[in-house]
């Protein structure tokens, strides 16, 4: 199962993952904010790079409720 990772446009530490690239299963945010597509996760190793430490638990949660939401405390700085 591929997981598609989205990031909150207003809070770069907040992520949400779902099983659809369109993001139609994502929870709503405040009126001015929105989810931005961030990455596609194919396996546990790839997921760990993006802070999703338990890939199997994330896929189970997505199967049950359509998404999984989490906050990543590791904020990478912009190197550009």
Residue 66, pLDDT above cutoff 80: yes
**pLDDT value, residue 78:** 59
Residue 7's SS3 state is: strand
Opening angle at CA 56, ends 69 and 65, nearest 5: 45
Higher pLDDT, 59 or 1: 59
Residue 71 has pLDDT above 90, yes or no: no
Q: What is the pLDDT of residue 76?
A: 59
CA dihedral 47, 9, 71, 65 (to 10 degrees): -70
Mean pLDDT of 60-79: 80
> pLDDT digit string (tens) for 4-51?
999 998 888 889 999 999 988 898 888 788 999 999 988 888 888 777
**pTM for this entry:** 0.81
Q: How far lies 58's CA from each of 10, 19, 26, in Å?
A: 23, 10, 14
Strands (E), the chain: 3-8, 14-18, 35-41, 67-71
């Amino acid at each position: 199962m591929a997981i598609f990772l989205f990031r909150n446009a207003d809070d770069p530490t907040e992520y949400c993952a779902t099983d659809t690239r369109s993001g139609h299963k994502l929870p709503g945010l405040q009126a001015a904010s929105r989810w931005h597509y961030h990455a596609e996760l194919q396996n546990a190793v790839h997921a760990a790079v993006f802070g999703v430490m338990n890939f199997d638990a994330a896929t189970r949660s997505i199967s049950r409720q359509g998404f999984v939401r989490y906050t990543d405390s590791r904020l990478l700085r912009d190197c550009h």
